[in-house]
Structure formats: C-alpha cells, structure tokens
Structure 1
Amino acid sequence: MTIDSQDPTRLADFWGRLLGYVRLENFTASIRIGPPDCRGPVLLFAHHEPLPVSKNRLHFDHA
C-alpha cells in the first residue's frame, strides 16, 4: 500500500511503532516498512507535495 505524505519519515515512524513494523530495504526516496518476519502487508510512504485538497481516507484493519 502506498501512502502520499508531506513528511513520509514521520508518518512511517508513527505507523512502524504502532504496528511493530521495521524499515525495509528500498531503492527509491520513499520509505518502506513491514513486519520484521516479512510476513504481512508492506506500507510505502512517498513524499508528495502539495497534498490533494480533498481528504485522503484510509481504513486499515490489522488482525
């Protein structure tokens, strides 16, 4: 899942702590995080400016 952000580092750190995810190797300027055992969904945080005027809705169920 890719998420646009003006501050991808901050957002990736927040979600990483919340989900227990770690930073994964990435070959672009974006930040990739996922489970330490590499079994589960991966989140990619990309820098994007300016952000859209409308709300960027996200619903993430984690069981």
Structure 2
Amino acid sequence: MPVRWEQVVVDAKDPARLAQWWAEALGYVIVNETPDEVEIRRTPDELPGLLFTPVTDAKVVKNRLHIDLRPDDQEAEVERLVDMGARQADIGQQGVGWVVLADPEGNEFCVLSSRK
C-alpha cells in the first residue's frame, strides 16, 4: 500500500502568527487557514506542508523532531532569521557545523552549513 507524506503538524499558541513566520522564513504560501489550523506549503499543490494547530500548554523541553534548513550562506541566513524573530538556542551543541535557532514560540531548528 503506497503512502504519501502529507505534512508535519506544529503545535502553536498562536497558529496564524507562527504559520506566517514560517511561511516568510521558508518562502512558502498559506494554502488553508481556519480558526483551528493554518497550513503552509512551498506551492499550493506541493507536499509536504506544515500544519499549525492550536494548543494551550507552553513548550517546555527540546523538540524531539525538528527542521533542518540548508542555505547557500549559513551566516547570512542565521542573521536573516534572527532579524525576523528567531533566537539562538543552546541544546548542548559544541563544535558542530550547524547553528541551532528557535522560532518565535521556542521550537528549535537547525541552519546547516552549505554543501559547497
């Protein structure tokens, strides 16, 4: 039986705000928005997407699943994301080739170095 990866679900205190932040960060578009969820994708017909759903509890521990981004210029991308509201995150990494950031709600993600 074939299966297709549809989306990653992200719990959020403010799904609309966080979806908009990630859409801008990734160059994605909002493809569906209701009071209960907001979905973003690279293009309306391209999967997978990120689906933001509301939760009332705060994030308190390191994510067990996270997104890795690989830009052409790691330093410039980190600067851009921090200017957008991301913050540096310390999860115990030392001497690695990536930078750990957290989005406006504290979800960690990595900005990897270029493959070049």
Category of TM-score, reference length = shorter chain? 0.7 to 0.9
In structure 1, stretches of 5+ residues that fail to align are: none
- Separation of aligned partners in 2, 1:25 and 1:19: 16
Pair 1:25–1:8, CA change in 2 (3 A): closer
Structure 1 outlier segments of 4+, above 6 Å: none
Q: Does 1:15 align with 2:13?
A: no
Q: Check conservation: 2:11, 2:54, Cα contact below 8 A.
A: yes
The number of residue pairs the alignment matches comes to 63
Q: Normalising by the residue count of structure 1, what TM-score does the alignment of the two structures yield?
A: 0.75
Percent of residue pairs bearing the same amino acid type: 37
Question: Which stretch of the first structure deviates more once superposed, 2-11 or 52-61?
Answer: 52-61
Q: Normalising by the residue count of structure 2, what TM-score does the alignment of the two structures yield?
A: 0.45
In structure 2, stretches of 5+ residues that fail to align are: 1-7, 71-116
Higher-Rg structure is 2
What is the CA RMSD across the aligned residues, in angstroms? 2.3
Q: Which residue identity does 1:36 align to in structure 2?
A: T
Indicate the structure with greater strand content. 2
- Separation of aligned partners in 2, 1:20 and 1:43: 12
